[in-house]
Chains A and B, each alone.
Chain A
Amino acid sequence: MTSLILRTATRYMFPPLLVFSVYLLLRGHHYPGGGFVGGLFAGSAFTLYALAFNVESARKLLRFDPRDITAVGLAVALASGIPALFSGYAFMTGTWWKVPIRPGVVIDVGSPLIFDIGVYLVVLGVLLTLVFSLGEEE
């Protein structure tokens, strides 16, 4: 699996795929998308890279152990449930904050988004844990 065409194509496709996965994650609240499919897209980007080059270089590109990513994702998802406790609501009740980005522009940021980021990371981590360990076994 060391086709030159695939390698070259992968070099060009990898960044847009990752950007697209984040885009999917962020738009999920209003339009089709979300953490799950976003995580899958990001995972596919790395899988593609591992296929075109090898697992070793894909691991290097990722920089973190996929199992750590899974653990961090789970922690983030759990943590997103905590803010609600401070306002006296049940664990995981959606909590929203108004965050001013620049004068005159205020966006809503909610704990569901944080939760979705956790889902994104877990899916990414799980997928790559499997792909990497299967691919490395040769």
Chain B
Amino acid sequence: MFTLLITCFFAAVLAPWVHRRVPKYAGALLALVPAAVFAWLIRQLPMVAHGHSVEQSFQWVEGLGLEFALRLDGLGLLFALLISGIGTLIIFYTQGYFKGHPQQGRFLMYTIAFMASMLGVVLANHLLVLFIFWELTSFTSYLLIGFNHEDEAARSAALQAMLVTVLGGLFLLAGMILMAQATGTWKLSEIVQRGAELQAHPHYLPILILICIGAFTKSAQFPFHFWLPNAMHAPTPASAYLHSSTMVKAGIYLLARLHPALGGTGEWGAILTTIGVATFLIGALMAIGQSVLKRLLAYSTVSALGAMVMLLGIGTSGAIQAMAAFVLAHALYKATLFMVAGGITHETGETSVDRLGGLRKAMPFSFTCAMLAGLSMGGVMPFFGFVAKEVWLHALGDYPLLLLATVAVGATYVLVGITVGWKPFAGQRPDGLHAHAVPISMRIGPLVLGLGSLFLAFFAGWIGHAIVEPAAAAIAAKDLEVHLHLWAGFNKYLLMGIGTVAIGLALYRTRPVLLKTGARLAGFARFGPDAAYRLILSSVLKFAAWQTRLLQTGTLRHYIRYAVLTTTALVAAAFIRAGGFQGLENLSPISTRIALVAVLMIAAAIFTVHSNSRLRSILSMGLVGYGMAMLFTFFGAPDLAMTQLVIETLTVILLALAFSHLPPFRHGSSMRTRGTDLAIAVGGGVVVMLLVLAALDVQTPTAVSDYYLEHSYKYAHGRNVVNVILVDFRALDTLGEITVLTIAALGASALLKLRQGKQEDKS
């Protein structure tokens, strides 16, 4: 499994190169990688279907107890099959969609990198490994949504999706850490066995809420659903892959995975069912008013994701079976519809379903696939969507209200299915709408998945046993038998299904009215979560701008003022907390030579401030520095003294060089500012002096200097302890310092160059 993941990431890195070498067949070649993964997964199918799992792990960071653990069980297999199977078709589809596009290689790279990350999510058996891959999917999704980076709307949608999912990711991380502490293990396979222990833990509710926020943001649950429709700015292959069939199901996967550990309680049921039903209904309601193909599909995806959360929340074995079956059915038909929609837009340049029509002659292939998928989505016999819906209605048998909601939402699915599957192809073609069939590479994907929706229904019993049953067993953490039937007999659920289709057809008839109502209600978006997101984002930016204006004035005096005032305040606060300053004892007497130097320095400092010539100021400041060097020699620090001397000389030279570029010297500040500055300077000086005096009294338990003195020659072969510390004991610090020095020099040199450039522009 590890090899497979590495291969996928490697393929992602190689993708641009492959595209450069064989631009025409890059998609087909690269699709071999996910195809190989798919084949490997199929080979594991019999073993996993018997309840065994494939495990692999090795130590990653031993010191942190981080283990790179992977595990393939029924649930992981279901998702991994979808990811690699649809991935193969999507990558192949990309070849036609981006035909001749110079950036196709980049797109392929992102897509394959995403696929690898997503496989990592569903195969991970260690919470932190899962989290890393989870964040990687958010990141690759950001790159894919913002693929058309010259489009501002795409950029902002990418940022929105990223901020929402990554913020959720932080909640998730917090939840994972709490969960690992509560159970004492990071391994998922062990956590799911400690459900009882976890549910009795006092942190159970916080863990549940944190994990739910992480999963809900990722899977576009209300009130975080708004990023998904906006994410439709991504190129269609990405929308079909990430934002309908795989990535948005990561949250569902996580909830399903943790169901044995966290599920089955009242809180679990309440949170998941409430949010799930809300999303389920809102997504469907929003879908009705949409006419842009991809947004229509996106809202129906939001609704479908809500349904999955709802079914998980109910948590009976029937609901879990229904959820697993629905994940499969939904991925098949939704990816097909997206690919068809992409094909239509690709060939006609039109995105709104209301301006499309009569394409059945020009695009017969797309028409067939769209009908197959649309009928499956509507839950019509004999498609897999029907099979899934049947199980689903069965599972909701005891919940009349949910049953009612399902019928209502099911009707809108019928509406969406017809609108995308039938509407663009039927009737008269509007004038000026040019269309021709999509290339072969764009036919295979939708055709395979569309026919899949049909064929899987006929093998429903086998699919149920081989794929849905192991997945459902992993979610429920107990053995259960899944029997899917194409024909379950004539009962009330069949009648409900038929009723749903009838209502859907009626809705389609009244679609113009619905669209008008939808347009009238669009104003309410001002109060929606999308608007809230924008408000928060702009507030944060405004706050950032405000505090930057306040603190980063560009005036040197202000920066120094802030630095000195902060230091003074913090040190003074520390003194007050420690109970005031104490102890002026044990001070050695001041010798005459030190007093002389000190007086000289003080005089030079006063002269620096009062001089009315810039050169004199610099020179007298140099004098202060030289006095300091002299003090260093008195106290036996020749290294410091020597460095101080050279530095002081160079500072004077540098200042002299810099000052020759400045305007004439004058005291521009008023008496009042100078008074304030004096107060700040005196305050800073006094506090630092007190600090130095207080430091004399501090007795550290073991002086670190003793260690250095003792070991300097023994281990580091050096007698100059100062130098040995710099280049040996603390060499890494020095390395950091010289790096900072280099960056500062580069920055300064760039700034000076910039000014030169400006002057040249002017002249």
Q: Chain A residues in contact with chain B, CB under 8 A?
A: 24, 28-37, 40-41, 43-44, 47, 51, 67, 70-71, 73-74, 77-78, 80-81, 91-92, 94, 96, 108, 110, 112-113, 115-116, 118-119, 122-123, 125-127, 129-131, 133-135, 137-138
B741 (CB) vs chain A CBs: closest residue:
A126
Residues of chain B at interface, number, CB under 8 A: 43
Query: B193 interface residue, CB < 8 Å from A?
Result: no
Cβ of B735 and Cβ of A31 under 8 Å apart?
no
Cross-chain contact B720 with A112 (CB below 8 angstroms):
no
Cα(A36)–Cα(B646), bound, Å: 11
Contact A31 B650 (CB under 8 A): no
Of residues B744, B745, B752, B756, which shows the largest number of chain A Cβ atoms within 10 Å of its Cβ?
B745
Contacts of B650 in A (CB 8 A): 40, 43-44, 47, 127, 131
- B412 CB → nearest A CB, Å: 61
- The answer to whether B719 and A78 have CB atoms under 8 Å apart is no
Instruction: Name the B residues within 8 Å of A135 (CB-CB).
Output: 657
Cβ contact within 8 Å between A130 and B745: yes
B718 at the interface (CB under 8 A from A): yes
Q: Which of A29, A47, A131 contacts B724 (CB 8 A)?
A: A29
* Chain A residue contacts of B745, Cβ below 8 A: 67, 70, 125-126, 129-130
Residues of the B chain whose Cβ atoms lie less than 8 Å from the Cβ of A43: 650
Min CB gap A83→B, angstroms:
13
B716 contacts which chain A residues (CB < 8 A)? 94, 112
By a CB distance below 8 angstroms, the chain B residues around A40 are: 643, 646-647, 650
Nearest to B650 among chain A residues (CB) is A44
Cα–Cα, bound, A73→B742 (Å): 10
- Report the Cα distance A80→B335, complex, angstroms: 55
User: B382 to nearest A CB, angstroms?
Assistant: 65
How far is it, in angstroms, between the C-alpha of A9 and the C-alpha of B377 when the chains are bound? 92
- Are B727's CB and A35's CB within 8 A? yes
Please determine whether B723 and A77 come into contact, CB atoms closer than 8 angstroms.
Answer: no
Q: Let me know if A137 and B739 touch, CB within 8 A.
A: no
Contact B639 A96 (CB under 8 A): no
B196 within 8 A of A: no
Nearest A-chain residue to B716, judged by Cβ = A94
Contact mask B692-731 → A, CB, 8 Å, 1/0? Answer: 0000000000000000000000011111101110111001
Q: How far is the CA of A33 from the CA of B727 in the complex (A)?
A: 12
Interface assignment of B653: CB less than 8 Å from any CB of chain A: yes
Tell me the complex Cα distance, A44–B649, Å: 9
* Listed A/B pairs (17) with beta-carbon separation below 8 Å: A29-B727, A33-B723, A37-B643, A40-B643, A40-B647, A51-B653, A67-B746, A77-B738, A91-B732, A92-B731, A94-B731, A113-B727, A125-B742, A126-B742, A126-B744, A133-B748, A137-B756
Cα distance A127–B647 when bound, in Å? 10
Cβ distance B626 to chain A, nearest Cβ, rounded Å: 15
Instruction: Please report the C-alpha to C-alpha distance between residue A92 and residue B101 in the assembled complex, in whole angstroms.
Output: 48
Report the minimal beta-carbon distance from A126 to chain B, rounded to whole angstroms.
4
Question: Which of chain A's residues has its CB closest to B756's CB?
Answer: A137
Q: Is B532 an interface residue (CB 8 A)?
A: no
The contact of B720 among A34, A41, A73, A81, by CB within 8 Å, is A34
Are the CB atoms of A31 and B720 closer together than 8 Å? yes
B728 lies within 8 A of A112 (CB): yes
How many angstroms from the CA of A22 to the CA of B575 in the assembled complex? 46
Q: Which residues of A contact B666 (CB under 8 A)?
A: none
Residues of A within 8 A of B647 (CB): 40
Which residue of chain A is the closest to B657 with respect to CB atoms? A134
Which residues does chain A contribute within 8 Å of B563, judged by CB atoms? Answer: none
Instruction: Return the contact of A32 from the options B638, B742, B755 (Cβ within 8 A).
Output: B638
Q: Could you say which of B653, B654, B719, B756 contacts A29, with CB atoms under 8 Å apart?
A: B719
Q: Is B515 an interface residue (CB 8 A)?
A: no
Rounded to whole Å, the gap between the CB of A18 and the closest CB of chain B is 14
A134 and B658 contacting across the interface, CB-CB below 8 Å: yes
A92 and B742: CB pair below 8 A?
no
- Cβ of B642 within 8 Å of any chain A Cβ, yes or no, is yes
| Assembled-state Cα–Cα distance A107/B450 (Å) | 79
Among the listed B719, B738, B746, which residue makes an inter-chain contact with A118, where contact means beta carbons less than 8 Å apart? B738
* Bound CA–CA A30/B727 (angstroms): 12
- A106 CB to closest chain B CB (Å) equals 13
> Which 10 pairs, one residue from A and one from B, show the smallest C-beta to C-beta distance?
A126-B745, A32-B638, A30-B719, A40-B646, A112-B727, A134-B657, A29-B718, A122-B738, A34-B723, A133-B752
Given contacts A30-B719, A30-B720, A77-B735, contact A131 B654 (CB under 8 A): yes
Other than A30-B719, A67-B749, give 8 A-B pairs with Cβ distance below 8 A: A32-B638, A32-B639, A32-B720, A37-B639, A74-B742, A116-B727, A129-B746, A133-B748
In contact, B735 and A112 (Cβ under 8 angstroms): no
Q: Is the CB of A112 within 8 A of B654?
A: no
Closest to A70 in B: B742
Closest CB of chain B to A19's CB: distance in Å?
16
**Are B724 and A112 within 8 A (Cβ)?**
yes
Q: Do residues B728 and A94 form an inter-chain contact, with CB atoms below 8 A?
A: yes
Residue B661 interfacial (CB < 8 Å): yes
Tell me the complex Cα distance, A29–B753, Å: 38
Tell whether B660 is near chain A: CB-to-CB under 8 Å.
yes
Given contact pairs A112-B728, A123-B738, A134 touches B654 in the complex (Cβ within 8 A): yes
Task: Assess whether A73 is in contact with B738, with CB atoms less than 8 Å apart.
Answer: yes
Complex: how many Å from CA A93 to CA B99? 55
Q: How far does the alpha carbon of A92 sit from the alpha carbon of B718 in the complex, in Å?
A: 16
Q: Would A32 and B735 be within 8 Å (CB), given that A44-B649, A123-B741, A137-B755 are in contact?
A: no
CB distance from B746 to the nearest CB of A (A): 7
- Kindly state the separation between the CA atoms of A93 and B13 in the bound complex, as whole angstroms: 35
The listed residue (A34, A94, A131, A137) touching B726 by CB distance below 8 A is A34
Cα-based distance from A126 to B747 in the complex (angstroms): 11
The answer for the CA separation of A92 and B730 in the assembled complex, in Å, is 9
CB B759 to nearest CB in A, in angstroms, measures 9
Residue B428 at the A interface, CB < 8 A?
A: no
Q: Are A133 and B753 in contact (CB under 8 A)?
A: yes
Q: Are A133 and B749 in contact (CB under 8 A)?
A: yes
Verify B749–A129 contact, CB threshold 8 A.
Answer: yes
Once the chains are docked, how many angstroms separate the CA of A47 from the CA of B638? 24
A112 with B657: CB separation less than 8 A: no
Closest to B643 in A: A37
Q: Check: B734 CB closer than 8 A to any chain A CB.
A: yes
Please determine whether B717 and A96 come into contact, CB atoms closer than 8 angstroms: yes
- A37: chain B residues within 8 A (beta carbon): 639, 642-643, 646
Residues of A within 8 Å of B654, CB to CB, are: 130-131, 134
Within 8 Å by CB of A81, from B722, B731, B746, B752, lies B731
Tell me the B382-439 residues at the A interface (CB within 8 Å).
Answer: none
A137: min CB distance to chain B, Å = 6
Q: A119 with B752: in contact, given A35-B727, A125-B745, A135-B657 (CB under 8 Å)?
A: no
